[in-house]
Amino acid sequence: MYEKTLTLLTRTLTALSAVLFLIMTTLVCLQVFYRYVLNAPLTGSEEAARALLIYVVLLGAASGVGNRSHLTIGYFYERFPVILRKAATLLYFISILSIALLFVIQGWDLAQRTMMQTTPALRIPKGLIVYAFPIGGALMCIYSVSLIKEILGASNNPHSAQNKKSL
């Protein structure tokens, strides 16, 4: 049940990131068209595109943790013995968890402090944009903890199918 929920969450995040990316790209293209063809720039489109980019990056990063699709240096990793691969994978996800916790704690604090400030063109609270950090960080924490538990569970059960494939 838990794995199905995480899979659904990952698919939802991936789809949401794609939709936000599409909106952002459309907005930037419209801005270029209006500015250079119609000589009438759209007000606030650059701010909106910037805010969307922040959400796309952080939600996409969380989705990447869930899909295990972040960058790795496979050349060295594949040459490690199995036990060292597991240790490297564990260190990898502990590092992601640490950074994600930093995003949650510091992002929440910054979002709270910037809620009274508004963006110049859109007039929305800057905190709404900054909330992307604690949201993305919390999602990365959920995925990281799940993957760390999976790695430790595979290490403790020598007969599991998960232990036989490389993590």
Q: Which residues of 61-97 are buried (b: 16+ CB within 10 A; e: fewer)?
A: bbbbbbeeeeeeeeeeeeeeeeeeebebbbebbeebb
> What average pLDDT does this structure show over 51-80?
89
* Residue 76 confidence (pLDDT) above 90: no
Would you state the torsion angle of the CA atoms of residues 160, 86, 147, 74, taken in this order, to the nearest 10 degrees?
Answer: -120
Tell me, what amino acid is at 3?
E
- What pTM, to 2 d.p., does this model score? 0.86
Percent of the chain with pLDDT over 90: 75
Would you state the torsion angle of the CA atoms of residues 22, 3, 65, 76, taken in this order, to the nearest 10 degrees?
Answer: -130
- pLDDT 10s digits, 16-44: 999 999 999 999 999 999 999 999 988 89
- pLDDT 10s digits, 115-145: 999 999 999 999 999 999 999 999 999 999 9
- pLDDT at position 166, please? 46
- pLDDT at position 98, please? 97
> What average pLDDT does this structure show over 87-110?
96
